[in-house]
Structure 1
Amino acid sequence: MDFRDFDRLNRRDIIRGTAMLGAGAAFLQPLPLFAQAGSLADIRKAAAAGKEASIKRIRDWVALPSIAAEDRNMPEGAAYFAELAKDAGFTHVEVVPTDGHPGVFATLDVGAPRTLGLYLMYDVKQYDPAEWSSPPLEGKMVERKNLGMTMVGRGSANHKGPEGTFLAAMHAIRAAGRKLPVNLVLICEGEEEIGSPHFRQLVTKPHILAALQKCDGVFMPTAMQDMEGGATIELGAKGIIELELVASGEKWGRGPKKDVHSSLKAMLDSPAWRLVQALQTLVTPDGNTPAIDGWFENVRKLSDREKAMIRDAIKHTNEAQMKDDLGVTRWIDDLSLEDAMVRLMQEPTVNIEGLVAGYTGPGGKTILPGRAVAKLDLRLVPNQTRAEATQKLRAHLDKRGFNDVEVNISGGYDPTETDENSALIRAEVATYKKLGVRPNLSVRLAGSWPGGTFTQPPVSVPVGRFGLSTGGNAHAPDEYYLIDSTNPKVAGLVDSTMGYVEFLYTLAAIK
């Protein structure tokens, strides 16, 4: 999934564009009071008793990194998660091959009237141990100021911690001698971190598609709380295309096919400058607006309702703190915060992730590179599609004579949208309110995850992300997930486990 999330605090609000719902004192009760009494007290007792087993389950999972970008431990990761699913009580579990890395499909039919889909991922981002304060696969417990005891490890927040917490909820329900209030259909992929290139292939296998089409919605367990205790409910996410543009002397027919001495630039063309010239055509001169032919033809502008959500969010935002967190002094085009937030939610983007050509080590090396590569991500908004955007990018380059510049797509998917009146979203809102958590309604995630595969035909069901607790540094060193909270507004592991339990029962009962 490509959430690309910032560290924490207001940076999360930037990406999600949150708007506050019912920000009254009723949503400020301490989280440890959740379900200590009442109809779910027996499940809470089981969750508390299983806490150490839950911690071990997450830590052991963190210890096995499945990294799609490095083709590392992918069969092992799928097999490992299949065992986790069986252990949690799924009665049908299978590892499903694709043309890429395998997925895991599982079902649990308890004879309930409602069926909930569950999207998980077993892959994680790459890491450099030298950048971490503790070994990235150790799952070390580290105290974090104003938050509590956290587990530090690659994948702890994104997303093995929240996913393991949902599995803990299943264990607790069974340990309490109960059965689930809804049927479950689970799909787990191993390629989210590289743009889910084979996910649609996985979802549309006939038996998997048939099971997903019976679902009232699909959700992804995620640590959604901010430091003030509120939890975000996203009504969508931007789509994404990840790709490389490659200029080379070999393809171009000009310039060297390999690196040569830089003195020869006086008589040879440069593939590196060729790539720079191609890149300059993709955006306006300031780099801020896509200039690909036809790029905005199908872009849907924000509705008045969506703009109202953003205006509500601004009322609760510390702009100075937000800028400080990001290390910036002004917004794009010197816009106001409100206008910048509207732009964040509404505009597609063309972003350079990295540029590589020739020598990049210490000192200089006088060469003329024979090959240059730019890594790009293109964020898409409703009603753009990956297929449309890919075709327009290729046509744009060809029209300007850059037929030789390769466009190598590595992954991506369409934008996601879910109706706020769907049973799934109403159940999320109701659960947060029941637990004393302020729900923050967001227009969409400015990052991306492949929820559009579910919302579009042939599946066509609502999607969302849901969960308590918090974590941070996803995709970065010292990634962490909260285990024992010292912040009365933010859930630790047991309370977060009970949050999933409450959600399942709320969805089962909602009209």
Structure 2
Amino acid sequence: MTSLDRRQLLAGSAALMLPGMGMASAARAAVAPAADAQKKIRAAIDRQLPENIARIQDWIKHPGIAAENWQMEEACAYTMGMIRDAGFQMVKRMPTKGQPGIFATLDAGAKRTVGIYFMYDVKQVNPAEWSSPPFEARITNKPGWGQVIVGRGAINQKGPEAAFLAALHAFRAAGQKLPVNLVLVAEGEEEIASPNFHQIVQAPEVLAALKKCDGIVIPTAWQTANGSTVINLGAKGPIEFQLIASGERWGKGPKIDIHSSQHAHVDSPVWHLVQALNTLVKEDGFTPAIDGWFDNVRGLTAREKELIAMTAASQSEAEAKRAMGVKMWINNEPWQQSLERLASQPTVNIQGLVAGYTGQGGKTVLPGRAEAKLECRLVPNQTFREAEAKLKAHLAKRGFGDIEVVVSGGYDPTETAEDARVVRAQQAVYSRFNAPATLYPRSAGSWPGSVFTQPPVSLPAGQFGLGHGSGAHAPNEYFVVESTNPAVQGLAGCTAGFVDFLYEMAVTA
């Protein structure tokens, strides 16, 4: 591509801005064919907004919950239909040992190919905790943000993913070819730590297609109230598991619940589990104490600390605390130090504890079984398999070898270089949308990016998206569709950002 072609494309990208966002530059370049094409695309985005909102609502109304094996085949089929409707010529169901995945390709006859990662499963819900039914996808007004869709999966990840599909619909409605080819891989087990996703990615036909890509992204929408966002250069890896103590397996305590008076001469599997859990962290309650846990942990580099300092300066600590409902960070650490901890420290977290009777009033039982659900977050250079082995060895060494360890999923941490094309393309788009973006070493949350960044795929991988939403894994999860905050994009701006990103991936050297 010549330098003139590049200037035309980038000038055309500016035409996607909302009013006040780079329109002067777009006007100066309006004579360029690419600029005219993108004006048509933006007009299509605005025209299609009602149907794009409806698409998100309909997707939320077709949930699949992998953790409960609930409606997963229906959710997969519905997602395949959405992908096909967006213009992918080949859409294929990919069986795994667990829930099915999806492989799709869109050949635009372009020189470059971009990978896209989707997830179609969502977290469990407790409807009693929600202000409206979690799968109703009700539109409501959220003060400070505007009109939002409330529903499970709204931000994690159906809103952003549907915005990406809306970008493809806009290309077609405007009569424009995509500037890149697309390879899309989707899974239905992200919310249970992707135990079988590698089977999809490493299938010969999928691997061959991914090898042609210049990078891969998962659509997101992470703008804060001041319009800023963060570009993560990686993510922690999870290991998700259950610890189960039972009198039957232990050889002590009852096989079934018995009267609590018997505890005077019968052991308690519940206390046995609690004692085991106590060995996993130090007395401070947050530092992992599993034998050898820190053996391979890589500390932050000087550059990573520099990036975190820039993030701390650009992101609001007060807003972060307010969003999470917390008053202070661990050890009451200052903002920058706490962000360094967030990026660098592995964790051992108890998600839930279940044993005996938890209903109204007492029941005076000595339970025969107790279960804890946990997850650990891993950092470079830990690995999922290493963590699993060390956890089991740690428990066995301390006399807890009878406690059943059931690992349901996990994968390694991921890292992508800051000079990768997918990172530089993000920076360019965020800049043109006046969305200040800082680089951050790694997200404390996890996504299976390591499946892409590690051999045999070996692709740069990241997350990208304008717009805003929150409440992932929590009640009243939402995604902004009509923003009243001039610094934050609504669904139309989020969609336009994906169009701009595809153009940028086509021209970034």
TM range (shorter): over 0.9
Q: 2:382 aligns with which of 378, 381, 384?
A: 384
Change (3 A) 1:200 1:506: same
Q: Following TM superposition, by how much is the alpha carbon of 1:337 offset from its aligned partner in structure 2, in angstroms?
A: 2.8
In structure 1, what residue type is equivalent to 2:255?
Answer: K
Change (3 A) 1:343 1:133: same
What does residue 16 of structure 1 align with?
none
Q: 1:271 aligns with which of 260, 269, 276?
A: 269
Tell me the alpha carbon deviations over residues 2-21 of structure 1, each in whole angstroms, 9 at most, x when there is no partner.
xxxxxxxxxxxxxxxxxxxx
In structure 1, what residue type is equivalent to 2:158?
Answer: K
What does residue 7 of structure 2 align with?
none
Higher mean C-alpha deviation, range 94-103 or range 427-436: 427-436
Q: Which runs of 5+ in 2 are unaligned?
A: 1-13
Tell me the alpha carbon deviations over residues 249-301 of structure 1, each in whole angstroms, 9 at most, x when there is no partner.
11111111111111111111111111111111111122221111111111010
What does residue 170 of structure 1 align with?
168
Q: 2:54 aligns with which of 38, 53, 56?
A: 56
Q: 1:425 aligns with which of 423, 426, 442?
A: 423
- Counterparts of 1:30 and 1:95, CA distance in 2: 36
Conserved? CA contact 1:34–1:498, under 8 Å: no
Q: Following TM superposition, by how much is the alpha carbon of 1:324 offset from its aligned partner in structure 2, in angstroms?
A: 4.7
SS of 1:484's equivalent in the other structure is strand
SS of 2:376's equivalent in the other structure is strand
Higher mean C-alpha deviation, range 434-443 or range 293-302: 434-443
- Counterparts of 2:49 and 2:325, CA distance in 1: 38
What does residue 126 of structure 2 align with?
128
- Counterparts of 2:130 and 2:400, CA distance in 1: 42
2:71 matched to 1:82? no
In structure 2, what residue type is equivalent to 1:476?
Answer: A
Q: Following TM superposition, by how much is the alpha carbon of 1:313 offset from its aligned partner in structure 2, in angstroms?
A: 2.5
What does residue 448 of structure 1 align with?
446
Q: Following TM superposition, by how much is the alpha carbon of 1:129 offset from its aligned partner in structure 2, in angstroms?
A: 2.2
2:302 matched to 1:304? yes
Q: Following TM superposition, by how much is the alpha carbon of 1:55 offset from its aligned partner in structure 2, in angstroms?
A: 1.3
Conserved? CA contact 1:31–1:490, under 8 Å: no
Q: 1:93 aligns with which of 87, 91, 94?
A: 91
Tell me the alpha carbon deviations over residues 449-493 of structure 1, each in whole angstroms, 9 at most, x when there is no partner.
111110011111011110111011122222111111111111111
- Counterparts of 1:187 and 1:339, CA distance in 2: 37
2:360 matched to 1:362? yes
In structure 2, what residue type is equivalent to 1:65?
Answer: P
Q: Following TM superposition, by how much is the alpha carbon of 1:225 offset from its aligned partner in structure 2, in angstroms?
A: 1.0
- Counterparts of 1:189 and 1:285, CA distance in 2: 39
What does residue 237 of structure 2 align with?
239
Higher mean C-alpha deviation, range 336-345 or range 176-185: 336-345
Tell me the alpha carbon deviations over residues 66-103 of structure 1, each in whole angstroms, 9 at most, x when there is no partner.
11111111111111111111111101111111110001
Higher mean C-alpha deviation, range 122-131 or range 195-204: 122-131
What does residue 462 of structure 1 align with?
460
Q: Following TM superposition, by how much is the alpha carbon of 1:178 offset from its aligned partner in structure 2, in angstroms?
A: 1.1
Conserved? CA contact 1:124–1:158, under 8 Å: yes
Aligned CA-pair RMSD: 1.7
Change (3 A) 1:32 1:479: farther
Change (3 A) 1:317 1:433: closer
In structure 2, what residue type is equivalent to 1:452?
Answer: S
By relative contact order (CA 8 Å, sep 6+), the higher-ranking structure is 1
Conserved? CA contact 2:411–2:448, under 8 Å: yes
- Counterparts of 2:315 and 2:425, CA distance in 1: 26
In structure 2, what residue type is equivalent to 1:250?
Answer: E
Tell me the alpha carbon deviations over residues 88-131 of structure 1, each in whole angstroms, 9 at most, x when there is no partner.
11011111111100011000112211110000011111122222
Q: 1:105 aligns with which of 103, 106, 115?
A: 103
Change (3 A) 1:158 1:322: closer
2:380 matched to 1:414? no
Q: Following TM superposition, by how much is the alpha carbon of 1:435 offset from its aligned partner in structure 2, in angstroms?
A: 2.2
Conserved? CA contact 1:35–1:44, under 8 Å: no
SS of 2:172's equivalent in the other structure is helix
Conserved? CA contact 2:17–2:433, under 8 Å: no
Percent identity, aligned pairs only, is 56
Conserved? CA contact 1:30–1:488, under 8 Å: no
- Counterparts of 1:490 and 1:446, CA distance in 2: 23
Higher mean C-alpha deviation, range 148-157 or range 237-246: 148-157
What does residue 22 of structure 1 align with?
none
- Counterparts of 1:198 and 1:356, CA distance in 2: 27
Q: Aligned pairs, how many?
A: 484
Change (3 A) 1:291 1:405: same
Tell me the alpha carbon deviations over residues 385-430 of structure 1, each in whole angstroms, 9 at most, x when there is no partner.
1000000111111111211011001111110111000111011101
In structure 1, what residue type is equivalent to 2:301?
Answer: S
- Counterparts of 1:63 and 1:315, CA distance in 2: 40
- Counterparts of 2:234 and 2:477, CA distance in 1: 25
- Counterparts of 1:354 and 1:409, CA distance in 2: 15
Change (3 A) 1:291 1:66: same
SS of 1:375's equivalent in the other structure is strand
